[in-house]
Amino acid sequence: MSIRNLDDLLGEGVSGRRVLVRADLNVPLDKQTGEITDDGRIRAVLPTLSALVQAGAKVVVCSHLGRPKGAPDPQFSLRPVAGRLGELLGAPVHFAEDTVGDSARSTVEGLADGQVALLENLRFNKGETSKDDAERGAFADQLAAFGEAYVDDAFGAVHRKHASVYDVPARLPHVAGRLVLREVEVLSKLTGDPERPYVVVLGGSKVSDKLAVIEALLPTVDRLLIGGGMCFTFLKAQGHEVGTSLLEEEMVETCRNLLERSGGKIMLPVDVVAADAFAPDATHDTVPADGIPSHRLGLDIGPETVAGFAAALSQAKTIFWNGPMGVFEMAAFANGTRGVAEAITKTDAFSVVGGGDSAAAVRALGLDESSFGHISTGGGASLEYLEGKTLPGIAALES
């Protein structure tokens, strides 16, 4: 991979220069209080921002948050992020009330060496996500005017052909930040020649969301452990009753074919936690995976499955995990995800947590993040990288 990195830029000198940093500050906010519930993505970009601050750059940070409809929406404002970022950096972060308007221009112009500004949500502007090259390019022109150099440290967005990710690098000298460089280095190990046995754990809701990565991984992995809501379509493909569990009927035949082609690599649950309703206080118990009552739905993998998955993981030298094993947000259905995560930490394998809900689960369940080899900040980006897709943000940095 031929990408210039942050050290290359720092070596050229950035003191007094405006550096535009694309970060992924898309953190979860409490709907009632507006407070940040997980600041993992903010902390992930700190090494890049701190290095630029210490070198005397005027740092202009831009990011998206949520999915506003191309116009300002208070519930998706980055203002709370500016406050938390300032706390973590140990210095105030100047917040622009808009992205490329008067407030942004005056905020950027007022920066002193070593100071940081955060622009308002990129997606408050239609040009950020536009599929029209001209509209996207016009917005990129406005953004690029705020920088003399560009740093992409938003791995969670590199699979998007958005203005701030794909078009701005064509307008400025550009480098990869510390986080993006680390993410690509780690994931390239998984797509190159991983140390074996190589075991992948996939969870989450839908087979359709993971089909491409399953197809890409099957020839290269030694074992593929499947849990979460997606396992019920596989169980149905084996001819089992799945009750009212999450099911993609249109994917049953696809799952049947995958099982036949896998050569026994795919490992499915042998027991599940079945409940009367999708609710934290629902009546539930553990049942065999081939004996789910018709009126119940599976919300977690069971203890025998956790033990079986743990045994498979114990032999691994390389592990990739993406997707929870159950509805971990509800305490009654978090044991499967916790059990698998803890099993990963007890191995000697090089382990990668593939971002998204998996990374959120690690923090929500109070697990030691340092027990994993790497926790990615990009769920969708990490999966697309493993699928072998060209990621627009990476391609833009290589050009």
Give the residue numbers of the binding site for ATP.
210, 298, 329, 355-358
Can 256 be counted among the known catalytic residues? no
- By the 8 A CB rule, do 367 and 340 touch? no
User: Which are the contacts of 104, defined by CB distance < 8 A and separation ≥ 6?
Assistant: 96, 97, 98, 119, 120, 146
Neighbours of 366 (CB within 10 A): 7
To the query of whether residue 380 is one of the catalytic residues in this protein, the response is yes
Find the catalytic residue in 356, 378, 379, 393.
356
Antiparallel, parallel or unpaired: β 284-288 and 271-275: antiparallel
Q: CA-CA-CA-CA torsion for 151, 152, 154, 155, nearest 10 degrees?
A: -140
Amino acid at 38: D
DSSP secondary structure code for residue 277 in this structure? S
User: In 3D, which of 279, 280, 285, 301 has the Cα closest to residue 203?
Assistant: 301
What's 145's DSSP letter?
Answer: T
Buried residues in 277-303 as b, exposed as e (16+ CB within 10 A): eeeeebebeebebeebeeebbbbbbbe
**Listed residue (275, 274, 303) closest to 290, CA to CA:** 274
Examine the residue annotation and report whether 11 is marked as an active-site residue of this protein: no
Annotated binding-site positions for (2R)-3-phosphoglycerate? 41, 123, 160
Which position among 229, 378, 380, 393 bears the catalytic label? 380
Give the residue numbers of the binding site. Answer: 24-26, 41, 64-67, 123, 160, 210, 298, 329, 355-358
Cβ proximity of 266 and 259 under 8 Å? yes
Q: How far, in Å, CA of 360 to CA of 32, rounded? A: 19
CA distance 112 to 98: 20
Query: Catalytic: which of 41, 58, 182, 223?
Result: 41
- CA 156 vs. chain centroid, Å, equals 5
CA neighbours closer than 13 Å in the CB half-sphere of residue 40: 21
The reply to whether 206 belongs to the active site is yes
| Closest C-alpha among 302, 319, 310 to residue 342 | 310
Q: Which residues have CB under 8 Å from 314's CB, separation 6+?
A: 343, 346, 347
User: Would you list which residues are annotated within the binding site for substrate?
Assistant: 24-26, 41, 64-67, 123, 160
Catalytic-role residue among 105, 171, 206, 317: 206
**Burial (CB count <10 Å: 0-12, 13-18, 19+), residue 399:** exposed
Active site residues: 41, 206, 356, 380
